Amino acid sequence: MKFSLFTEKTPPLIGIDISSTSVKAVELSGDSRGGYKLEGYAIAPMAPDAVIDGNVTDLEKVADAIRQACKLLGTREKHAALALPSSAVISKKVIMEASLREEDMEAQVEGEANQYIPFPLDEVNIDFEVLGPAPNNAEEEVEVLIVAARKEKIEDRVAAAEVAGLKVIVMDVDSYATEAAYTLVSVQLPNGGSEQTVMIVDIGATMMHINVLHDNKPVYAREQSFGGNQLTQEIQRRFGLSIEEAEISKRKGGLPESYENEVLQPFVQLLATEVARAQQFFTSSTQYHHVDHIVLAGGCASIPEIEVTVQDRTQVHTVIANPFHSMALGTGIRSQQLPVDAPSLLIACGLAMRGIEI
């Protein structure tokens, strides 16, 4: 399969986000007003240890979770877009002559890749995209983004999807999918986020993924070791539950009264401190000394009042990511549940957008 990261035209796609705790699936269509319509979404639990540190370690279990997500989605669509974790991808921006033909550019990309990829080139897939005119010489040069990933990392994900009955058309990168979905979230911000610095904080099970955009263009990305598993483990320890029981009760409720004050609130405070740390690290290590807005995503973003705590701690305007905020909704979607699930669907939504031309 081609590493079709920058494919332009594709059929409708199911966006499939594979994480260590679940598979999220989103199906979109184009609506009559030239926007997107959410046809459906599903979240299926992942068996423990099937995905570790972004690597597929049990193909059958991952395929089962994808199959379950597609069954819950109730779709006939078989084409899919998947994403690699950013940590599995090497990317680099280079400057090239604007007059180069595509085949000459391809040859130059391979030459560039040789210099900075620490693996033999026959073990990697490489793709590139012309981003636009070069900042310092717009008339004669262009800026080109080169992206490379180990073939085995791509093939593991593709194989799991194929075992589940899907055909993978696009392999993206989770941070790019997040940025695509952010274009739908930015309408929640003043001026659509233009001329402002926006920090997207996606809190997964084990990692906090930080993407910062300035004037709606990516300027910074980082990962911090922190996630919802810490809350699950504390529930498990405090109330004598198995890890599966702790995960279910965290999502569905039914824990003793002491949970709110003794477990959840301390975790929320810790989370807010981690976001403040990420903000401080960004402002002290880059040319951008100020963050205008924080957008919270991932499963932890659905904790009630989380944005209030983060806003108090960081003194930065904070919103919860909802890419479906102004979307038309399909008939089977529960509009009350959607805002709760939306923050964890950012990557899947960004992937599904790859199949719709707006």
Q: For residue range 288-332, what is the model confidence (pLDDT) as tens digits? A: 999 999 999 999 999 999 999 999 999 999 999 999 998 999 988
Q: Does residue 84 have a pLDDT over 90?
A: yes
**Which residue from 158, 135, 163 is spatially nearest to 64, judged by alpha carbons?**
163
User: What are 18-47's pLDDT values in tens digits?
Assistant: 999 999 999 999 887 878 999 999 999 999
- Apex 29 CA angle, 331 and 6, nearest 5: 150
Return d(Cα 115, Cα 307) in angstroms, integer. Answer: 43
Binned at pLDDT 50, 70 and 90, residue 341 comes out as very high
Question: Tokens at residue 48, please?
Answer: 């423990």
For the ranges 32-41, 195-204, 272-281, which has the lowest average pLDDT? 32-41
- The one-letter code for the residue type at 311 is Q
Per-residue pLDDT, 248: 85
Does position 10 have pLDDT exceeding 80, yes or no?
A: no
Q: Which residue has the higher pLDDT, 345 or 334?
A: 345
Burial (CB count within 10 angstroms: exposed 0-12, middle 13-18, buried 19+), residue 108? middle
d(CA 201, CA 132): 27
Return the top range by mean pLDDT from 119-128, 138-147, 276-285.
Answer: 276-285
Residue 300 pLDDT: 94
**Residue 95 near residue 112, CB atoms below 8 Å:** no
Encoded amino acid at 166, one letter: L
Structure tokens at 62: 């991952």
pLDDT, mean of residues 164-178: 94
pLDDT at res. 244: 83
Q: At what angle do helices 243-252 and 229-239 cross, to 10 degrees?
A: 110
> According to the model, what pLDDT value does residue 356 have?
86
pLDDT band at 197 (very low <50, low <70, confident <90, very high): very high
Residues 285/311, Cβ–Cβ less than 8 Å? no
Identify the three-state secondary structure at position 11: coil
CB proximity list for 257: less than 8 A, separation 6 or greater: none
Asked if residues 5 and 332 have their Cβ atoms less than 8 Å apart, the reply is no
Domain boundaries, the chain: 89-151
Contact 144, 93 (CB under 8 A): yes
Is the pLDDT at 182 greater than 80, yes or no? yes
Give domain 89-151's CATH architecture.
2-Layer Sandwich (3.30)
Give pLDDT tens digits for 92-123. 888 999 999 989 999 899 888 888 888 888 89
Distance CA 83, CA 23 (A): 12
Residue 227 has pLDDT above 80, yes or no: yes
The residues, any chain, with a CB within 8 Å of residue 75's CB and separated by 6 or more, are 14, 27, 39, 40
* pTM for the predicted model, two decimal places: 0.91
pLDDT at 1 (0 to 100): 40
What is the pLDDT, as a whole number, of residue 7?
A: 53
C-alpha closest to that of 193 among 314, 266, 295: 295
Percent of the chain past pLDDT 90, that is, above it, reads 73
Rounded distance between C-alpha atoms, residue 152 and residue 150, angstroms = 5
Q: Beta strands 217-225 and 167-173: pairing type?
A: unpaired
Predicted pLDDT at 9:
55
